[in-house]
């Protein structure tokens, strides 16, 4: 593995460990507390968890399409609408199931990293947020996104001591 891919892997692993330490520390009551949302909708902590679980797969799909030279997201993609709808669809899932989905997504991200070449890391595509980024940046954005939301939840709902 190249030093560049190894650096990405180390970031992904470290951010995942930090994120899961936070998410696994919450009580059932804390998952029901209000949480910050950029989606113009009142979210609970469990809604943010659903968002994290779903978004990982979506971003991984963007990486796979970018590597193939395909359009990563449609021109008319509405990220806020996607986020609201995906959270609504997850409303009946347990937090345990969503945490497992995050673990599965993490394993898939690492597996995808193993398959990309050095040249693939420099390919570019449009992220769901609208900016053009490299495959390398897609990988770091996935893990940064998850970690950032976990840290926001930690501040909003607290942690068991």
Question: Above 90 in pLDDT, residue 88?
Answer: no
pLDDT band at 93 (very low <50, low <70, confident <90, very high): very high
Lookup: tokens for 1 = 């593995």
Number of Cβ atoms within 10 Å of the Cβ of 84: 18
Q: Give the global pTM.
A: 0.88
| Segment of 51-55, 80-84, 87-91, 95-99 carrying the highest mean pLDDT | 95-99
What letters, b where the CB count within 10 A reaches 16 and e where it falls short, cover 12-43? beebbeebbebbeebeeebbeeebebebeeeb
Could you read off the pLDDT of 94-107 as tens digits, one per residue? 999 999 999 999 99
The span from the CA of 115 to the CA of 125, in Å, is 18
**Class assignment of domain 3-157?**
mainly alpha
What does the CA dihedral 51, 40, 148, 75 come to, rounded to 10 degrees? 70
Cβ neighbours of residue 13 under 8 Å, at least 6 residues apart?
110
φ/ψ (deg, to 5) at 59: -70, -35
């Amino acid at each position: 593995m190249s030093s560049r891919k190894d650096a990405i892997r180390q970031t992904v692993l470290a951010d995942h460990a930090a994120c899961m330490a936070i998410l696994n520390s919450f009580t059932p009551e804390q998952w029901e507390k209000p949480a910050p949302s950029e989606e113009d909708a009142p979210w609970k902590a469990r809604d943010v968890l659903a968002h994290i679980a779903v978004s990982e797969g979506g971003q991984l799909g963007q990486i796979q399409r970018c590597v193939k030279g395909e359009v990563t997201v449609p021109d008319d993609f509405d990220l806020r609408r996607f986020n609201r709808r995906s959270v609504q669809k997850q409303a009946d899932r347990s937090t345990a199931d969503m945490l497992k989905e995050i673990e599965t997504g993490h394993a898939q991200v690492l597996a995808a990293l193993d398959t990309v070449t050095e040249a693939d890391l420099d390919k570019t595509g449009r992220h769901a947020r609208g900016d053009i980024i490299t495959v390398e940046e897609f990988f770091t954005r996935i893990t940064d996104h998850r970690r950032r939301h976990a840290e926001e939840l930690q501040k909003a709902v607290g942690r068991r001591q």
